[in-house]
Amino acid sequence: MSDVVQQISELFRSQDTFLVLTHYRPDGDAVGSQLALLLTLKGLGKTVEVWNDDAVPAKFRFLPASDLITRPPSEPKDFDVVVAIDTSTWQRVGTAAQRIGQRKYFINIDHHVSNEKFGEINWIVPEAPASGQIVFDLIKRAGFPLTRDIATCLFAAISTDTGSFSYGSTTAASLRAAAELVDTGINVGEICRQVYESYPYARLMLLQKALAQLQLADQKRIAYTWVTTEMFEESGAKREDTEGLIDYARAIEGVVVAILFEELSEPGKFRVSLRSKNPKVDVNSVARRFGGGGHREAAGARFSGEPHEIERKVLAAVSEALAAAGL
């Protein structure tokens, strides 16, 4: 057992009160990893809270104990241990950062190469395709019980962040982890139905509008589209319904980088998601130029300004990344 795993497992056993955090607008890896830690700690007899600024996306509410994820309280609260999971920067936990009173230990567990190592104990594994796999490794190496409920959460986490085990980041270790999770008796068919086959009609209307805006650039090697506030209002879709939309642009033959520009609810604020199909093209480096980050093949950033200027800057940066990769 490595020193960092031993440190974390000893704290899990010795301390009493825990807070588990992840980033706002949580995806499947964030929710699944957060819940797996919650259930692991509860199984050890600990008092645990899980906070998020945003509600659990509808398609992940079937996960065990998802109803225990709450918004941060109005007043600060003390904990023995605070754990941030799947969060590359401390700012991404949102208002939860201001709701923590006294704490003894601060653990940061993540797989983003752009992680800023903001914890006192940092376990960052960039080669892991999902934070859920790191949590799985922690449970196995520390000898904590792997229940079917925990396995359900971890399977959802690893599956979603590997594109249902289709992305280049998928490893033999992640497939072995998935097999061991299935061995606990989880219902793989039901998990996949909930995650991949239970989209609301409003999301399809949003997708229709986004595809109508799709454009190609740089000799058709870049595909990009916009999702605006008006499109949300017209379709009735929620912010969480943007998850996965970029994959339609990414799937176009010949496209190397896909970009989704999203207008946020705050005036003049925008979110940009980037996906690369070629490991030579590092979209994390592109996102970092604008204060964002993520992975080599999946990253994002937030912007303030005029949409056309943001679009121009991002497209130029991606074209530079393509040229630098010799493409």
CA pair distance 164, 178, nearest whole angstrom: 11
The residues of the chain that CATH labels 3.10.310.30 are 201-324
Question: How large is the average pLDDT for residues 174-197?
Answer: 96
Write out the chain in H/E/C secondary structure.
CCHHHHHHHHHHHHCCEEEEECCCCCCHHHHHHHHHHHHHHHHCCCEEEEECCCCCCHHHCCCCCHHHEECCCCCCEEEEEEEEECCCCHHHHHHHHHCEEEEEEEEEEECCCCCCCCCCEEEECCCCCCHHHHHHHHHHHHCCCCCHHHHHHHHHHHHHHCCCCCCCCCCHHHHHHHHHHHCCCCCHHHHHHHHHCCCCHHHHHHHHHHHHCCEEECCCCEEEEEECHHHHHHHCCCHHHHCCCHHHHHCCCCCCEEEEEEECCCCCEEEEEEEECCCCCCHHHHHHHCCCEECCCEEEEEEECCHHHHHHHHHHHHHHHHHHCCC
pLDDT tens for each residue of 26-39: 999 999 999 999 99
pLDDT tens for each residue of 302-317: 999 999 999 999 999 9
pLDDT given at position 169: 87
Closest CA to 57 of 69, 74, 40: 69
Residues 6+ apart with CB under 8 A from 19: 48, 49, 50, 51, 77, 79, 81, 82, 83, 100, 103
pLDDT given at position 309: 95
CA pair distance 18, 21, nearest whole angstrom: 10
pLDDT tens for each residue of 83-93: 999 999 999 99
CATH value of 201-324 in 3.40.630.10, 3.10.310.30, 1.10.1530.10, 3.90.1570.10: 3.10.310.30
pLDDT given at position 114: 87
Q: How far is CA 81 from CA 18, 56, 101, 106, 188, in A?
A: 5, 23, 11, 6, 33
Does the predicted TM-score (pTM) go above 0.75? yes
Q: How far is CA 26 from CA 31, 86, 242, in A?
A: 6, 9, 12
Superfamily of domain 3-196: inorganic pyrophosphatase (n-terminal core) (3.90.1640.10)
pLDDT tens for each residue of 264-323: 988 899 999 999 999 899 999 999 999 998 888 999 999 999 999 999 999 999 999 999
CA pair distance 179, 192, nearest whole angstrom: 15
- pLDDT, mean over the chain: 95
pLDDT given at position 256: 97
Phi, psi for residue 217 in degrees, rounded to 5:
-145, 170
* Token pair 């949590």 in the structure block, residue: 135
Q: Between β-strands 100-110 and 121-124, what pairing exists: parallel, antiparallel or unpaired?
A: parallel
Angle at 168 between CA 166 and CA 169, to 5 degrees: 100
pLDDT given at position 104: 96
Q: Which amino acid is at 213?
A: Q
**Cβ of 74: how many Cβ atoms within 10 Å?**
7
Burial classification of residue 7, based on how many CB atoms lie within 10 Å of its CB (0-12 exposed, 13-18 middle, 19 or more buried)? middle
pLDDT given at position 70: 96
pLDDT tens for each residue of 124-154: 999 999 999 999 999 999 999 999 999 999 9
Question: How large is the average pLDDT for residues 222-229?
Answer: 97
pLDDT given at position 1: 56
The residues of the chain that CATH labels 3.90.1640.10 are 3-196
pLDDT at position 11 over 90: yes
Confidence of residue 327 (pLDDT cuts 50, 70, 90): confident
